[in-house]
Amino acid sequence: ATHPEGGENGYVLEVFNAIEESINVIIVPMSAVEPLKQDEILSVRSLVEII
């Protein structure tokens, strides 16, 4: 996504839970995203909804 005020460009990311249900869409700057690495392991934790 191109920043409307000339700031850092970013990405629109969709966040999924462990059973592939979409739970949120967020916008983050490009510098906040790193590629996954072959030696990384994904983990699962409970999500507590903030009301």
What pLDDT was estimated at residue 25? 96
Q: How far is CA 35 from the centre of its chain?
A: 12
Which distant-in-sequence residues (6+ apart) come within 8 Å of 33 by Cβ?
A: 11, 13
pLDDT, tens only, 17-45: 889 999 999 999 999 999 999 999 988 88
Pick the closest to residue 18 from 38, 45, 49, 39 (CA basis): 45
Q: How many domains does the chain have?
A: 1
**Any domain includes 46:** no
What pLDDT was estimated at residue 51? 52
**Any domain includes 38:** no
**Any domain includes 49:** no
